[in-house]
Amino acid sequence: MTSHTLNELIADGVRGRHVLVRSDLNVPLDGSTVTDDGRIRASLPVLTQLVDAGARVIVMAHLGRPKGSVDPKYSIAPAADRLRELAGFPVRTATDVVGEDARAQAGALADGEALILENVRFDPRETSKDEAERQEFAGELKALTGENGAYVNDAFGAVHRKHASVFDIADLLPAYQGELVRTEVEVLKTLTEAPKRPYVVVLGGSKVSDKLAVIENLLGRADHLLIGGGMVFTFLKALGHPVGGSLLEEDQLDVVRGYLGKAKELGCEIVLPTDIVMASKFGEDAEHEVLAADGLESGRFGATGLGLDIGPESAERFASFIRSANTVFWNGPMGVFEIEAFAGGTRTVAQALADSEAFSVVGGGDSASAVRSLGFDEDDFGHISTGGGASLEYLEGKELPGLTALEGQ
């Protein structure tokens, strides 16, 4: 079953109608300053289309994990302020989610205006395990739209959550798939159903346990699986190499050994770094040196050294695999890219992707932040996902509630 599209909604006519849009404004903050506005920029096209068509747009979004209570540090206000700066249309903000201010402002919206509700996760019913509680909250969200409302889900980063603003609301209003969600699904289908070979997957980030199901599902699909980031030390330890004080998940060693064996059976090559940047400590002023991956305790820092990036030899080897690929999926940085001394591996991988003619997908979260913070042009990449965890769950083969709800229309 296919979902109804945004174009269908606009063709049906939205002038004068309230359209409830689930957007993804979950951006990183430094106090009240947005440090990466990628998701805000990605949300703008759908909002602009609706506003230009005369809709009265009500935006629902979350920021962080306030755990069902009002917490000023998780206010949507900084993200709303940034969206207002970028938008070419009037943007109001509500001081609550479905309370007196939200109701009053929704009722006062004019054609071609937008209202951003306060963080939907300030209401405990948004994330409740109790279906009746979620449905009650969804009903109050629906009430903001009046008699002839519609719902658009344009928050791919939230479709893996069975939350009121993602799942339950789609039962109460005519529901449509936003362009951001549609694009993400198309891209991920390409990666899982018909990737052009050679297909290279680059996985990084801190923990193997975060990527277990993805590795499991991609072993039979990818030709080469390149492993970097903090997760690499569990792989190195599984092969019998000492890793000093580097991040290690002891409870995953047997699982990783299983993957190394299974990869050979399935014809997928798992490629591990041959050198690592080891540091005396975690910090900007840390001393560091490059050591062979099978001798990480042989340097100046001995058994207390921390591996904080793949080495230059490994980075160039990873880049050569990327250059020879026709499809590349990258999720997770190669090291602590926020610190310049440990950004080399991530920068080299990003540059190889930017230079590549392959269909390239940068997984959301830290990978997308790395691309932007290291100064790359987003247009150099085939697709930069806004999905993060949702993208990974799709690649794991899981059913995503937000997508299921749209297909049930």
Answer yes or no: are the C-beta atoms of 367 and 211 closer than 8 Å. no
Q: What is the dihedral of CA 340, 346, 351, 354, to 10 degrees?
A: -130
Query: What is the DSSP-derived secondary structure letter of residue 1?
Result: -
At what angle are helices 77-86 and 38-52 packed, to 10 degrees? 60
Burial category of 6 from C-beta neighbours within 10 Å (exposed 0-12, middle 13-18, buried 19 and up): buried
Residues belonging to the binding site for substrate are: 24-26, 39, 62-65, 121, 161
347 catalytic? Reply is: no
Q: What are residue 26's phi and psi, to 5 degrees?
A: -80, 80
Question: Which residues does the annotation place in the binding site for ATP?
Answer: 211, 307, 338, 364-367
Q: Which of 41, 82, 207, 372 is catalytic?
A: 207
Look up 88 and say whether it is catalytic.
no
Question: Is 187 within 8 Å of 361 (Cβ atoms)?
Answer: yes
- Of residues 228, 229, 311, 365, which has the active-site annotation? 365
β-strands 275-279, 306-310 pairing? antiparallel
Q: Write down how long the chain is.
A: 409
Residue 54 appears among annotated catalytic residues:
no
Between CA 400 and CA 404 the distance in angstroms is 6
Per-residue DSSP letters for 308-332? EEE-HHHHHHHHHHHHT-SEEEEES
Distance CA 261, CA 238 (A): 11
For residues 221 and 360, what is the distance between their CA atoms, to the nearest angstrom? Answer: 16
Owner of token pair 């917490």: 71
3-state secondary structure 230-292: CCHHHHHHHCCCCCCCCCCCHHHHHHHHHHHHHHHHHCCEEECCCEEEEECCCCCCCCEEEEE
Q: What is the SS3 assignment for 203?
A: strand
328 forms beta bridges with 200, 360
Catalytic residue among 22, 39, 221, 237: 39
Q: Is 16 a catalytic residue?
A: no
Mind telling me the catalytic residues?
Answer: 39, 207, 365, 389
